[in-house]
Amino acid sequence: MKRAVIGWDIGGAHVKAVMLDAQGEIVRVLQLACALWKGLPLLEDAIKHVLHDWHIEAAACDHAVTMTGELVDLFDNRLQGVRAIAETVQGYLPHAEFYLASATQGARFTERVTGQEAYIASMNWHASAQCLATSMAWDAMLVVDIGSTTSDITLCDQQQVLPAGWSDAERMAKQGLFYTGVVRTPLMALGPCITWSEAGQTQPEPRHIAAEYFATTADVYRVLGELSPSYDLADTADGQGRAMVDSMRRLARMIGHDVEDKADDVWQSLALAFKATQLDYLQQAIQSAITNTASPVKTLVGLGAGSFLVAELAQRLGLAYRPATAWMPAGNVQLKQDAEVCFPAYAVARLWQAWH
């Protein structure tokens, strides 16, 4: 008899948890802000919060874990980070197992971390792709996970994951891992210029932007009304509020203005310009992935807090779009949407049940 399982995705800025019942249906989803670079006690608090919020004892279900939090500068290196996170997790979730994947060992779960740190570190993208590849009978497709901080672009074909590389360094070199997201990315990372047409201008022109941590992509998508407050958990650039005027104020600083200098529609136009720039970067990365595949890619599968961008990218590229929610069993649409944002946590829970 299968038991309920909680999938955990432990990142550097968030902890995400998805609970599946014994039949594999999503019953609970929770995402918590967790600035892991500030110390492991924050991770401890997040784990305890999930268990308390769900009124469940750790031993009452199984636990499958993936992570990217080993990257934070709390740790000297990934090896140290994986070990520290695993030790912390197992202190509260005895017998929790960790997802690992490599070119030689394939994908599986393990309780033993020592000696396998490199195969556990930052493999949440692989868990997501593995889950989707084995759930769908599609030909070549790109799984595009646009999260709060990063975007993962992974090819799947014939129910196999065909990664651009196995390490972060390899995947970044080949644009399989792209450091851009819809919440935490500093807008200066989209510079040094954006193309923008201010009111009264007939043609858009390059506009230099401040190389300062004045605003983030969350400000862009708040102003455009595309970022759900449920997924908007990171601190703002100036530590101030998330109201529309606060986000517009931060956007104005990026081009040397105060928010009072212009009407609101000007800042909405500026937000659209930043969005267009981010979409251009992502489109180039996806086109690069498509160019380097042997099989023709016809479908983008979108997930993450920025899945709404994947739908737009598919339209730009003339590809079919499929949301990951289409294959996720749940009692209501909101649970599906929340689990899509926390997809690696869902994926490890789903894979755990499939492989045990």
Residue ranges covered by each domain of the chain: 5-174+292-355, 187-282
Is the pLDDT score of 175 beyond 80? Answer: yes
Q: What are phi and psi of 189, to 5 degrees?
A: -70, -15
pLDDT tens by residue, 301-344: 999 999 999 999 999 999 999 999 988 999 899 999 999 999 99
Q: According to the CATH classification, is domain 187-282 in 3.30.420.190?
A: yes
Q: Quick one: pLDDT at residue 21?
A: 97
Is the pLDDT score of 138 beyond 70? Answer: no
Q: From 202, 244, 189, 240, select the one nearest 219 (Cα to Cα).
A: 244
User: Model pTM?
Assistant: 0.96
Do the beta carbons of residue 304 and residue 340 sit within 8 Å?
yes
Secondary element (H or E) of residue 276: helix 264-291
Same fold, 5-174+292-355 and 187-282: yes
Is the pLDDT score of 293 beyond 90? Answer: no
pLDDT tens by residue, 203-231: 888 999 999 999 999 999 999 999 999 99
Within 10 angstroms of residue 124's Cβ, the number of other Cβ atoms is 25
Specify the fold of 5-174+292-355. Nucleotidyltransferase; domain 5 (3.30.420)
pLDDT tens by residue, 253-278: 999 999 999 999 999 999 999 999 99
Cis peptide before 192 (omega within 30 of 0): yes
Q: Quick one: pLDDT at residue 200?
A: 61
* DSSP calls for 31-90: EEE--GGG-HHHHHHHHHHHHHHTT--GGGSEEEEEE-GGGSTTSSSHHHHHHHHHHHHH
Distance of CA 74 to the CA centre of its chain: 21
